[in-house]
Amino acid sequence: MRKFTFNPLVLAMAACVIAPTTAIAQGDELEEVLVTGSYAQSLKNALNVKREATGIVDSVFAEDVGKFPDQNLAESLGRIPGVAIEQDDGEGRSITVRGLGDAYTMVTVNGMPAQSLAAGSGGVRTSRAFDFNVFASELFSRLDVYKSTSGELEDGSLGATVGLRTARPFDYDEFAAAANVEGGYYDGSGSVKPRVSGLVSVSNDTIGFLASVAYSQKEAPLTGAESGRWNQQSGSNRLLCPADVCGDDANLVRSSWHPRIARYADKTNDQDRLGVTSSFQWQIADETLLSIDGLYSKIDVTRDEPFMQAISLARNDATGMRQMSVVDYMVDSNMTLVAAEVTDADFRSEAFRADWSSEFTQLSLDLKHEFSDNFRMNVLAGMTESQLDNREVTVIYEHFSSNDSRDYVTYADASDSFSWDYTNMKSPVLSYSFDTTNPANWEFSEYRDRIYDATSDTDMARVDFAYDLADGYTAKFGATQKSYGYQIAESRADRTFAQADVANGGVKDGNACGITAAVDANDGFLQTAGGQSFFYPDFSRRTEFQDSGCWAYAPQAGNTRDVEEEVFGYFAQLDVDTELFGNRLRGNLGVREAETDLRAEGITVVDGVVTPVVVKHSYSDTLPSLSLAYNLTEDLVLRGAAAKVLARPELTDLNPGGSITIFGDPKVSYGNPLIEPFRANSYDLGVEWYYSDDALAGITLFQKDVESFPTSETSDIPWSQLGLPDSLLGAHTSGYSAQRNL
């Protein structure tokens, strides 16, 4: 992709300047143009925040009005030491802080805990992680990463707390406006995709209003070759290696590593993203400021993945490795089967498409009031909601091998040989023995249709007080009530043609609700992907499959659940800013109490019968913290911090849904809503040298002593300790024990 940019038009002028209207004659010269804001200034602002902070904090500021340093928030976070970003389709989606993944990082937007849902493995990213790709960076004016914690910071983070803040009108002069237009040219398609943003802010001494908008389109093509990882042959899952081909190398060949899915990749990912912010501020009195902030973001993504591969290499059953015979081979010194030709392989032409949309909405109210010169209050209340809709459809045509009895069609060319050559890993060579472009060499094999609906919502009310005890000593205390909910429902209409055939009438007659396995030119089209051409399934056939009645949606117990958390927290903290041995000493000593009430609801399948199940759980934590910053010299700062921290369990682990077998060997397989959170003791020690106004050199040592880390295991326990209702067992309640995954 090539990017071209029209430089932002930035207007920042006082109302008193634009109030008079003055005509400028042609030829008159504008004597002075003042441009405010730069990358250097944003860097200085970030260093000032870090230098003055008591804890360990890193910040990134907007370079100018409506202009963030990077096009993606995660990439801006990647500038900070200790933060690594995970990229997907060319943009950062999540972060890792000090080696701890995104599930252990809490993100707040304008002070409100937030979760942005997005598609991922299994249809939905089911962790508590924040997907930064949902938002355009132009919507934000500042982000902070708190690597150490304090009593006043919300609990829920093991690694770091990331604070995102949108712009407010009192951040700027009485009038400010900005516009930015960019375009990206994509070589592959020859298309140009826009990226535009704008901001307008109007204010006076009493009230102000700001609105910003950002819109972008993007293509993310991915071409190349895949192996789907390399598997080592073992047990009965080995290639056949005739003696006249392999000779003494039979054991070597049948123990080597092979490509699981050898294929070319030619994926596309089209993305539309819209973001809108608004902010209203009212200086009600000299002592009272009211701020109301709104944020809306929506991202629509269509992902297409056309594939053709020898699917037998990925199968572990009788239709997999063990049905194929080696014709030729090359095994390197690492026991890797880098090149081979096999026969009796099954082949697949696969059309996969995911259409997903994620919407994020937030509304918050922030009230600051000074009762006196030394007594202050801050009230924050609001709601956040994220909704995800995702539909993933796969249409599969297959060419079965001559020794595979699942075929329904006699092919124009029944040959079934496949060869691969990965001697050049960057450019492997794949070959098929039959005409892959001829529809008469394929048959309809499988249809998958999966719908995911997920919602995450948070309501929060918080009140904080600060009282100046004396010069340099401030007592802080407050309380927070948070209500968090996460709901996900998955339905699937997955069936092979053979399954649908038998289900429709109970016999294998080649007719599944009026649909047959045979395909012709009207059932697809010629696709060229990854440098190879093949007959490709037509996505419009999904209507045909759905209307037939043989592919009906059914709920998925493991991915249908509802989790609700009520968290009440309160804290007390003492801030100190004084001198010790003639140098500045800052610190805070605090404690936060967090009481969590959990309610988890899911679907349990008891011997094929779907039954809803609800489990409740409560726990509380006392979280002390201490942070100190001491100026060894004016430019040399020594920092230390210690705290007890927690991160609540992953949402997938809290799922009470699963299966229960009450006959034979009793067994329970499900998530564990009674699981305890991740708890750890955190320690930091660092030194920072500010040798210039816009630079520093520093080093920080840290340790996370994780006391509780949920694991998966199987154990025999009495039914009464499972926390599940006895009604699930029917009459089998006496002397019952079961197995569960913890």
Across 8-12, 127-131, 517-521, which has the greatest mean pLDDT?
517-521
Is the distance from CB of 518 to CB of 511 less than 8 angstroms? no
Cα–Cα dist 413/330, whole Å: 28
Contact predicate 432/347, CB 8 Å: yes
Q: Which two tokens mark 59? A: 């910040």
Record the tokens describing residue 452, joined without a space: 């995911």
* Angstrom distance (rounded) from CA 338 to CA 82: 38
CB 131 within 8 A of CB 125: yes
pLDDT higher than 70, residue 4:
no
Q: Per-residue pLDDT tens for 337-376?
A: 999 999 999 999 999 999 999 999 999 999 999 999 999 9
DSSP annotation string for 537-573: E-TTHHHHHHHHSSS--EE-GGG-EEEEEEEEEEEEE
Coil, helix or strand for 126? coil
Beta strands in 310-346 (DSSP E): 325-331, 337-343
Q: What is the pLDDT of residues 670-709, one digit of tens each?
A: 677 888 899 999 999 999 999 988 889 999 999 999 887 7
Q: Distance between CA atoms of 257 and 254, rounded to whole angstroms?
A: 9
Give the chain's count of helices (H) and strands (E). 7, 38
Per-residue pLDDT at 606: 62
Query: Which residues partner with 163 through β-bridges?
Result: 108, 144
pLDDT score of 419: 96
pLDDT computed for residue 35 by the predictor: 38
Using CA atoms, how far apart are residues 402 and 323, in angstroms rounded to an integer?
10
Q: Which of 223-237, 312-326, 531-545, 653-667 has the lowest mean pLDDT?
A: 653-667
Judge contact between 213 and 198, C-beta under 8 A: yes
- DSSP string covering 583-634: EEEEEEEEEEEEEEEEEEEEEEEETTEEEEEEEEEEEEEEEEEEEEEEESSS
Over residues 635-670, the pLDDT tens digits come to 999 999 999 999 998 877 887 766 555 444 556 666
Cα angle value 300/304/310 (rounded, 5°): 155
**In the numeric block, which tokens belong to residue 349?**
């032409």
The model carries a pTM of 0.84
Count of alpha carbons within 13 Å of 658, Cβ hemisphere only?
A: 21
Neighbours of 346 (CB within 10 A): 26
For residue 385, how many C-alpha atoms fall within 13 Å in the half-sphere facing its CB?
8
